[in-house]
């Protein structure tokens, strides 16, 4: 107790109190209050283990467990009493337990320090956040697949250097994002596995002097394994870096997609119509329909990348073991996770509202000779080396450009004077090859944009996304089971 009757976790060797300005400076409660239920679960598992191992008196252990269960129920219901003066969420919980049980509460911190405690609660949080983010990404993938199923047959130019390059199926274009996001889910799963290690039992820095059963605590909390080194476990946050690294790449992918939505909704491109549900107006220009949500997805990239870099900065050069610098980890991770989750969900909504303007896509294929490569490929198949064929095709393009014609407008006579030696069937073949349909049909290789390949890729992607969906559901169910078991068992 302190002089005001408040609960203190430390103070035996102190006469004075921390300067109020520094108390405000060092508190983490406004941020780590989000760990409340996670820390209570960790505390419950710890208390049960202490009781089972007879490290604390049995009746006291039962009392502590009952009180913590009640507190967990209140935390989950949002009725847990919050003392804003607490130093952090761990102190808050300990003080509240003391308020309820008096002296008996003093057994709970046995064989535990806030250093292994905070690492445990934080890892539990990160594990759940990984699954939640995976779920949101899978939602977005499913939205992409729905679009691909509906509009995947539409043709548009693929771009390199943002210049019209070659015709592509919209389905192929959309699937590119499905695969990017699939790798994002893989990385999030790896981050979850990195977080899936129990630090409790590490104490403040070097382990604890009681016969704790770390494996039992890990089982109760759903951790796959226990940490190998107490200094490492209390001082390391690389699992959080891995999580933010996965989110940074996810946001990078989202920002590319968002940038494309912005571009496609310009009148200059005109591939995408913005429905009222995704467009915002201008306060001065009545004609405007702006893609603000997509712009914000692009703009929020900076936060997540900033959080990642900041977290690396927190860790750089830190001495081994827990240092208070580490307290900065949570604000960064929470912000990054909230931002990324928000952005993925917004992307899902925009995808659901996407209305493609097929006539504009088609028109974009009519200019810029995006099927010129088909001429050289055709000549190669007839025995001309590619470099020479490329030059001949270039001459055709130059001719057509001067005539103000598209390749599909060239007459058979023009073809035969440009490429002497072709008979009539060959010229017909070539004229079919330089249509957008002919061009995509020719890309009949694994990973190419031929309609059959895209159809097969869509089916493969749907199967893979289905598997990811199953994984998310199983992981979420397992988390739920662990939470319920902790809440239920006495």
- Helix ranges (H only) for 353-446 are 358-366, 372-381, 386-403, 412-418, 424-433, 436-442
Give 244 or 254: the residue with its C-beta nearer to ligand ARG: 244
Give 98 or 114: the residue with its C-beta nearer to ligand ARG: 114
Q: Using CB atoms within 10 Å of the CB of residue 170, give its burial: 0 to 12 exposed, 13 to 18 middle, 19+ buried.
A: buried
Whole-number minimum distance, CB 333 to ligand ARG, in Å? 11
CA distance 408 to 422: 17
Backbone angles phi, psi at 391, to 5 degrees: -65, -40
Backbone angles phi, psi at 278, to 5 degrees: -120, -5
Q: Using CB atoms within 10 Å of the CB of residue 420, give its burial: 0 to 12 exposed, 13 to 18 middle, 19+ buried.
A: exposed
Q: Work out whether 32 is an interface residue with ligand ARG (CB under 6 A).
A: yes
Residue 98 is a catalytic residue? no
Residues between 49 and 88 that touch ligand ARG (CB under 6 A)? 88
Give 111 or 454: the residue with its C-beta nearer to ligand ARG: 111
Number of shown-chain residues binding ligand ARG (CB under 6 A): 10
Whole-number minimum distance, CB 150 to ligand ARG, in Å? 48
Whole-number minimum distance, CB 269 to ligand ARG, in Å? 48
Interface region with ligand ARG, contact rule CB under 6 A, candidates 156-164, 306-314, 324-332, 435-443: 324-332
Give 320 or 474: the residue with its C-beta nearer to ligand ARG: 320
Give 88 or 142: the residue with its C-beta nearer to ligand ARG: 88
Whole-number minimum distance, CB 88 to ligand ARG, in Å? 4
Q: Work out whether 322 is an interface residue with ligand ARG (CB under 6 A).
A: yes
Residues between 423 and 442 that touch ligand ARG (CB under 6 A)? none
Give 88 or 374: the residue with its C-beta nearer to ligand ARG: 88
The three-state secondary structure class of 159 is strand
Q: Work out whether 327 is an interface residue with ligand ARG (CB under 6 A).
A: yes
Residues between 449 and 468 that touch ligand ARG (CB under 6 A)? none
- Helix ranges (H only) for 78-199 are 89-101, 114-151, 170-195
What residues pair up with 158 in beta bridges, in sequence order? 166
What DSSP string runs through 194-226? Answer: HH-EE-TT-TTTT--SS---HHHHHHHHT-SEE
- Given the residues 19, 282, 417, 489, the one annotated as active site: 282
Report the largest interatomic distance among the alpha carbons of the chain, rounded to a whole angstrom: 103
Q: Work out whether 94 is an interface residue with ligand ARG (CB under 6 A).
A: no
Q: Work out whether 39 is an interface residue with ligand ARG (CB under 6 A).
A: no
Q: Work out whether 196 is an interface residue with ligand ARG (CB under 6 A).
A: no
Binding mask 95-114 for ligand ARG (x = CB under 6 A): -------------------x
Q: Work out whether 115 is an interface residue with ligand ARG (CB under 6 A).
A: yes
Q: Work out whether 326 is an interface residue with ligand ARG (CB under 6 A).
A: yes
Residue 310: CB partners within 8 Å, gap ≥ 6? Answer: 328, 332
Give 28 or 230: the residue with its C-beta nearer to ligand ARG: 28
Give 157 or 203: the residue with its C-beta nearer to ligand ARG: 203
Return the structure tokens found at 267: 């009148």
Whole-number minimum distance, CB 6 to ligand ARG, in Å? 17
Q: Work out whether 125 is an interface residue with ligand ARG (CB under 6 A).
A: no
- Are 188 and 344 in contact by the 8 Å Cβ rule? The answer is no
Q: Work out whether 307 is an interface residue with ligand ARG (CB under 6 A).
A: no
Helix (H) or strand (E) holding 479: helix 451-488
Residue 282 is a catalytic residue? yes
Q: Work out whether 236 is an interface residue with ligand ARG (CB under 6 A).
A: no
Q: Work out whether 43 is an interface residue with ligand ARG (CB under 6 A).
A: no
CA distance 424 to 430: 10
- Are 147 and 350 in contact by the 8 Å Cβ rule? The answer is no
Whole-number minimum distance, CB 128 to ligand ARG, in Å? 18
Return the structure tokens found at 219: 């089982």
Give 326 or 350: the residue with its C-beta nearer to ligand ARG: 326
- Given the residues 161, 172, 209, 283, the one annotated as active site: 161
Q: Which of 67, 75, 76, 79 is nearest to 107 (CA)?
A: 67
Contacting ligand ARG (CB under 6 A), which of 40, 56, 93, 118? Answer: 118
Q: Work out whether 28 is an interface residue with ligand ARG (CB under 6 A).
A: yes
- Give CA separation, 47 vs 112, 154, 192, 223, 471, in Å: 10, 61, 25, 17, 31
Backbone angles phi, psi at 166, to 5 degrees: -150, 155
The three-state secondary structure class of 279 is coil
- Are 269 and 263 in contact by the 8 Å Cβ rule? The answer is yes
Binding site for ligand ARG (CB under 6 A): 28, 32, 88, 114-115, 118, 322, 324, 326-327
Residues assigned a catalytic role: 161, 282
């Amino acid at each position: 107790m302190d002089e005001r009757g408040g609960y203190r976790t430390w103070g035996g060797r102190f006469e004075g109190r921390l300067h109020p300005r520094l108390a405000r400076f060092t508190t983490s409660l406004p941020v780590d209050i989000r760990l409340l239920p996670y820390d209570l679960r960790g505390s419950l598992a710890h208390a049960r283990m202490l009781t089972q191992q007879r490290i604390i008196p049995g009746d006291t252990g039962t009392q502590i467990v009952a009180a913590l269960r009640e507190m967990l129920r209140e935390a989950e219901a949002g009725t847990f009493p919050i003392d804003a003066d607490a130093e952090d969420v761990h102190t808050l919980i300990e003080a509240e337990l003391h308020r309820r049980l008096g002296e008996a509460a003093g057994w709970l911190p046995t064989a535990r320090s806030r250093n292994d405690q905070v690492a445990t609660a934080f890892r539990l949080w990160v594990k759940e956040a990984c699954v939640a983010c995976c779920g949101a990404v899978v939602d977005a993938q499913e939205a992409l697949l729905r679009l691909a199923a509906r509009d995947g047959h539409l043709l548009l130019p693929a771009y390199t250097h943002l210049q019209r390059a070659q015709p592509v199926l919209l389905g192929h274009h959309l699937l590119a994002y499905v695969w990017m996001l699939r790798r994002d889910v893989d990385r999030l799963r790896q981050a979850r596995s990195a977080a899936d290690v129990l630090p409790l039992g590490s104490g403040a820095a070097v382990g604890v002097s009681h016969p704790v059963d770390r494996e039992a605590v890990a089982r109760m909390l759903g951790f796959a394994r226990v940490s190998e080194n107490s200094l490492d476990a209390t001082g390391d946050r690389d699992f959080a870096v891995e999580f933010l690294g996965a989110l940074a790449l996810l946001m990078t992918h989202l920002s590319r997609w968002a940038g494309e939505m912005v571009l496609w909704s310009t009148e200059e491109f005109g591939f995408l119509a913005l429905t009222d549900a995704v467009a915002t107006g201008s306060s001065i220009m009545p004609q405007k329909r702006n893609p603000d949500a997509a712009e914000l997805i692009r703009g929020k990239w900076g936060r997540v990348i900033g959080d990642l870099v900041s977290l690396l900065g927190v860790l750089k050069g830190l001495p081994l073991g827990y240092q208070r610098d580490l307290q900065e980890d949570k604000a960064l991770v929470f912000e990054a996770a909230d931002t990324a989750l928000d952005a993925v969900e917004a992307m899902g909504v925009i995808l659901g509202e996407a209305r493609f303007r097929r006539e504009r896509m088609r028109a974009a294929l009519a200019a810029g000779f995006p099927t010129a490569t088909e001429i050289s490929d055709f000549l190669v198949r007839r025995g001309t080396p590619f470099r020479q064929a490329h030059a001949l095709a270039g001459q055709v393009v130059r001719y057509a450009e001067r005539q103000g014609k598209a390749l599909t407008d060239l007459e058979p006579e023009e073809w035969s004077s440009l490429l002497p030696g072709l008979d009539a069937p060959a010229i017909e073949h070539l004229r079919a090859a330089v249509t957008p349909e002919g061009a995509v049909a020719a890309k009949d290789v694994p990973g190419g944009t031929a309609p059959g390949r895209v159809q097969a890729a869509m089916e493969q992607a749907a199967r893979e996304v289905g598997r990811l969906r199953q994984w998310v559901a199983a992981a979420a169910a397992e988390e739920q089971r662990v939470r319920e078991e902790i809440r239920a068992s006495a």
